[in-house]
């Protein structure tokens, strides 16, 4: 049985002064660039709606500037949307007060960043345990959990090493272990592998897929790489200029691209990947 975990409805984020001007009738049919030149406002998200099931890996894909990071920042309320709702576990997180927001960030959601965001002067285990440390968990307990998470991401025995002794791929595994250590219900990953070289990147995708089979977290994974999107995603939302222009399973997107923009992406997908997907779908 599928169970909805995150429901985003009619979400808008408009950067600039008096953002509500974009809701006036005269702007409803104008493009993002027209709005930008006429009102000096940036429509980073434009009426975005989608839902993510429990345990699903939901990918948001789009070119630079399409609004992907703005969307994940809204999901953690690092930025407040201009309009719309984000319902997680039947509560609209937009309406949370400071206390509810703090609890939400502590217990429900964890984020993995593109630049890993590790503390360079601390060893691996203290980095992996960082989220637990700021929650006030005692050293022994937090190290025990962190070690378990390091094992899970294939870093057994590296706990005492310094961060700068690790390769990029290993550092990002520490970032993933740190996020998992707080046992979040939802993992947000904003281009977690894009700082890595292509070979490592492909390996990390595979590892993430294997890990996900074990942990079944609800994941929102951001990427600008369609090959990556189809290999990790259960479903993919393709964004352009702040709007979702297609949403579907990898096969749906490859077989029936919604428009030329999408087919330009899908043409670049390797035939090996398509064979793999077809095998998976039986």
Q: Which listed option, ligand ATP, Mg ion, none, makes contact with residue 98 (CB within 5 to 8 Å by class)?
A: none
**Whose Cβ is closer to ligand ATP: residue 44's or residue 182's?**
44
E-strand ranges in 16-88 read 42-53, 57-62, 83-88
The interface partner of residue 96, options being Mg ion, ligand ATP, none and the CB cut-off 5 to 8 Å by kind, is none
Which of residues 61 and 180 has its CB atom nearest to ligand ATP in the complex? Answer: 61
Specify whether the backbone of 82 is left (phi greater than 0), alpha (psi in -120 to 50) or beta.
Answer: alpha
Q: Which residues bind ligand ATP (CB under 6 A)?
A: 15, 42, 44, 62, 64-70, 224
Phi/psi at 171 (nearest 5 deg)?
Answer: -60, -40
Q: Please list, residue by residue across 163-180, b when 16 or more beta carbons sit within 10 angstroms of its beta carbon and e when fewer do.
A: beebeebbbbbbbbbbbb
Which residue's CB atom is positioned nearest to Mg ion?
69
- Shortest Cβ distance from residue 222 to ligand ATP (Å)? 7
Q: List helix spans (H) across the chain.
A: 32-39, 68-75, 98-107, 124-128, 130-133, 139-152, 168-181, 198-215, 226-232, 250-255, 260-266, 271-281
SS3 86: strand
Contact residues: Mg ion, CB under 5 A = 69
62/169 with CB nearer ligand ATP: 62
At its nearest, how many Å lie between ligand ATP and the CB of residue 142? 32
Q: What is the DSSP letter of 22?
A: G
Q: Which is nearer to ligand ATP, 70 or 127 (CB)?
A: 70
Q: Using an 8 Å Cβ cutoff, are 195 and 116 in contact? A: yes
Residue closer to ligand ATP, measured from CB, 26 or 64: 64
């Amino acid at each position: 049985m599928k169970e909805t975990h995150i429901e985003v409805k009619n979400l808008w984020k408009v950067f600039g002064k008096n953002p509500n001007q974009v809701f006036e009738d005269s702007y409803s049919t104008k493009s993002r660039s027209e709005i930008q030149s006429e009102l000096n406002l940036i429509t980073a998200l434009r009426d975005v709606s989608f839902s993510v099931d429990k345990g699903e890996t939901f990918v948001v894909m789009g070119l630079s500037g399409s609004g992907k990071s703005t969307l994940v920042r809204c999901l953690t309320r690092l930025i407040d949307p201009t309009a719309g709702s984000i319902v997680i576990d039947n509560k609209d997180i937009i309406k949370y007060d400071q206390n509810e927001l703090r609890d939400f960030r502590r217990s429900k959601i964890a984020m993995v960043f593109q630049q890993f965001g590790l503390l360079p002067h601390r060893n691996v285990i203290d980095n992996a345990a960082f989220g637990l440390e700021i929650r006030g968990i005692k050293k022994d307990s937090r190290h025990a959990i962190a070690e378990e998470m390091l094992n899970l991401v294939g870093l057994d025995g590296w706990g005492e090493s310094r961060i700068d002794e690790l390769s990029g791929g290993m550092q990002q595994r520490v970032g993933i272990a740190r996020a998992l250590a707080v046992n979040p219900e939802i993992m947000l990953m904003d281009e977690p592998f894009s700082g890595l070289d292509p070979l490592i990147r492909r390996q990390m995708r595979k590892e993430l897929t294997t890990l996900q089979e074990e942990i079944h977290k609800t994941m929102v994974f951001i990427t600008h790489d369609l090959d990556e999107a189809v290999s990790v995603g259960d479903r993919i939302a393709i964004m352009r200029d702040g709007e979702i222009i297609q949403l579907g399973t990898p096969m749906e997107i490859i077989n029936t691209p919604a428009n030329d923009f999408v087919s330009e992406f899908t043409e670049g997908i390797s035939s090996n990947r398509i064979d793999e997907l077809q095998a998976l779908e039986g």
